[in-house]
């Protein structure tokens, strides 16, 4: 069995405190904080609103395009409030360009990935909250890589803003030009970087120029089941979707697949999730990777159905995506269909996730931030 040390869920883990965090960025601050910073630089407070409108409203980073700012102040203000946080290393595309995975290098050399997915009615971005992940789930490439550090609020937000600019450029044919959804399902356990993730959510949802202006209902925060953090999230007065990576309905198997289950068992995790649903009125998304001959037995479908029946929940079955060195494979389609049938017979809403991005290692569980991927398109 894989053992996992319990990771602190406060604003900073010890590992994060030791890491050198990136320079301050306007996305780390609310509008009042930006105004205070601008005035400390000897500029009028309204310059903060102008800079914020360029970044969040126009998706512009180049000081030369900020023509409403005095020429003499542009470079200095942009340098102080909009330092480079993410350096593009490579972009990979598949699905006729509708799925695009970006690899970024951070200021300290750490690597993270995020994915843009274009659909006829929406554009969704999957972003990372940590460089690596400390949860050690054995079927997930990110979890096997280990944790490097937490990302700052601005490093999290900047992924969404950058890819919102990609969508706005029109390169994702057949999709709207505006980003509409963000899912915290990239690298890392979001609730292990709690304070910065919540700050990022608030920044993404604040109206421009303070933020990106997304609907809270179009934000999804994923977790493997950090119970105290789930309960804390229920107190935040947010209406984001909680996605619980369950992957097994019984403790014996979940202890192995999701090692944090050794600390918080299935019953505790589901109780915290139902509390979140009751407090917010939001349906909980139960994420379940279908792994051949591991968690796809009919009796496990029946047990999951009994656990979820009558609850405000939806099951999202995920065909296991291949990862290097994995000993497991996806469940056969007939097994998957029988699993779906049994859940629906129990009255549980169930769908099977689209495996977008699999060819570029951009699908669920595949993000590993490797520099030697082939077939890259310069970002």
pLDDT tens figures, 248-303: 999 999 999 999 999 999 999 999 999 999 999 999 999 999 999 999 999 999 99
Assess whether pLDDT exceeds 80 at residue 339: yes
Active-site residue, 236 included: no
Q: What is the pLDDT of residue 327?
A: 83
**C-beta of residue 340 within 8 angstroms of C-beta of residue 350:** yes
Active-site residue, 113 included: yes
What average pLDDT score do residues 36-40 get?
97
Q: Which of 3-17, 35-49, 185-199, 303-317 has the lowest mean pLDDT?
A: 3-17
Assess whether pLDDT exceeds 70 at residue 1: no
pLDDT digits (tens, 9 = 90+) for 120-146: 999 999 999 999 999 998 888 787 788
**Which stretches within the chain are classed as H helix?**
14-18, 31-40, 46-52, 71-81, 141-145, 153-168, 194-205, 227-233, 251-257, 266-280, 298-308, 333-345
pLDDT digits (tens, 9 = 90+) for 152-194: 999 999 999 999 999 999 999 899 999 999 999 999 999 999 9
Q: Residue length, the chain?
A: 379
pLDDT digits (tens, 9 = 90+) for 202-212: 999 999 999 99
CB atoms within 10 A of CB 347: 11
DSSP code of residue 321: P
DSSP code of residue 120: T
Q: What is the pLDDT of residue 188?
A: 96
SS3 content of the chain, % helix, strand, coil (to 5): 40, 20, 40
Q: What is the pLDDT of residue 371?
A: 58
What average pLDDT score do residues 42-54 get?
97
Assess whether pLDDT exceeds 50 at residue 16: no
Catalytic residue among 43, 80, 113, 155: 113
CA angle at 220 for the pair 217 and 224, rounded to the nearest 5°: 145
What average pLDDT score do residues 360-371 get?
48
What average pLDDT score do residues 85-112 get?
93
Q: What is the pLDDT of residue 24?
A: 96
| 360 compared with 89, residue with greater pLDDT | 89
Q: Which of 143, 151, 60 is nearest to 106 (CA)?
A: 151
Assess whether pLDDT exceeds 70 at residue 364: no
| 20 compared with 19, residue with greater pLDDT | 20
In angstroms, how far is the first alpha carbon of the chain from the final one? 40
DSSP code of residue 345: H
Q: What is the pLDDT of residue 218?
A: 98
Catalytic residue among 126, 133, 205, 364: 364
pTM for the whole thing?
0.90
Q: What is the pLDDT of residue 145?
A: 80
Per-residue HEC secondary structure of 124-143 comes to EEECCCEEECCCCCCCCHHH
Cis peptide before 209 (omega within 30 of 0): yes
**C-beta of residue 150 within 8 angstroms of C-beta of residue 201:** no
What average pLDDT score do residues 29-46 get?
97
Assess whether pLDDT exceeds 90 at residue 370: no
DSSP code of residue 311: S
**C-beta of residue 48 within 8 angstroms of C-beta of residue 37:** yes
What average pLDDT score do residues 196-201 get?
98
Q: What is the pLDDT of residue 326?
A: 73
Whole-number Å distance between alpha carbons of 188 and 328: 21
Q: What is the pLDDT of residue 11?
A: 43
> Of all residues in the chain, what percent carry a pLDDT higher than 90?
80
Whole-number Å distance between alpha carbons of 295 and 351: 17
């Amino acid at each position: 069995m894989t053992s996992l040390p319990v990771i602190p869920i406060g604003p900073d883990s010890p590992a994060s405190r030791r890491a050198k965090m990136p320079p301050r960025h306007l996305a780390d601050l609310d509008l009042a904080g930006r105004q205070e910073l601008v005035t400390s630089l000897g500029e009028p407070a309204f310059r903060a609103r102008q800079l914020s409108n360029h970044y969040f409203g126009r998706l512009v980073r180049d000081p030369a395009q900020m023509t409403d700012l005095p020429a003499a102040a542009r470079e200095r203000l942009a340098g102080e409030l909009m330092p480079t946080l993410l350096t593009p290393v490579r972009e990979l595309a598949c699905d006729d360009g509708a799925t695009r995975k970006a690899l970024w290098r951070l200021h300290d050399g750490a690597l993270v990935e995020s994915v843009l997915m274009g659909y006829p009615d929406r554009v969704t971005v999957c972003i990372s909250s940590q460089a690596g992940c400390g949860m050690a789930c054995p079927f997930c490439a990110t979890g096997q890589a280990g944790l490097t550090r937490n990302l700052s609020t601005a490093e999290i937000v900047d992924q969404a803003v950058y890819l919102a600019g990609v969508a706005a450029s029109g390169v994702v044919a057949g999709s709207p030009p505006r980003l509409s959804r963000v899912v915290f399902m990239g690298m890392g356990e979001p609730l292990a970087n709690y304070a910065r993730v919540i700050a990022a959510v608030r920044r993404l949802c604040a109206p421009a120029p303070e933020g990106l202006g997304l609907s809270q209902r179009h934000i999804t925060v994923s977790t493997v089941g950090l119970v105290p953090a789930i309960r804390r999230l229920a107190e935040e007065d947010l209406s984001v979707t909680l996605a619980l990576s369950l992957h097994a309905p019984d403790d014996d198997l979940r202890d192995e697949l999701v090692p944090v289950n050794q600390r918080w068992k299935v019953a505790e995790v589901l109780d915290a999730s139902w509390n979140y649903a009751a407090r917010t009125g939001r349906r909980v998304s139960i994420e379940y990777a279908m792994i051949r001959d591991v968690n796809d037995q009919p009796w496990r479908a029946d047990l999951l159905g009994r656990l979820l029946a009558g609850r405000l929940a939806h099951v999202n079955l995920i065909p296991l995506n291949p990862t290097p060195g994995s000993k497991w494979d996806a469940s056969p389609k007939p097994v998957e269909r029988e699993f779906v049938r049994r859940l629906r017979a129990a009255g549980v809403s169930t769908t099977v996730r689209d495996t977008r991005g699999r060819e570029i290692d951009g699908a669920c569980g595949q993000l590993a931030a490797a520099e030697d991927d082939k077939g890259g398109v310069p970002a």
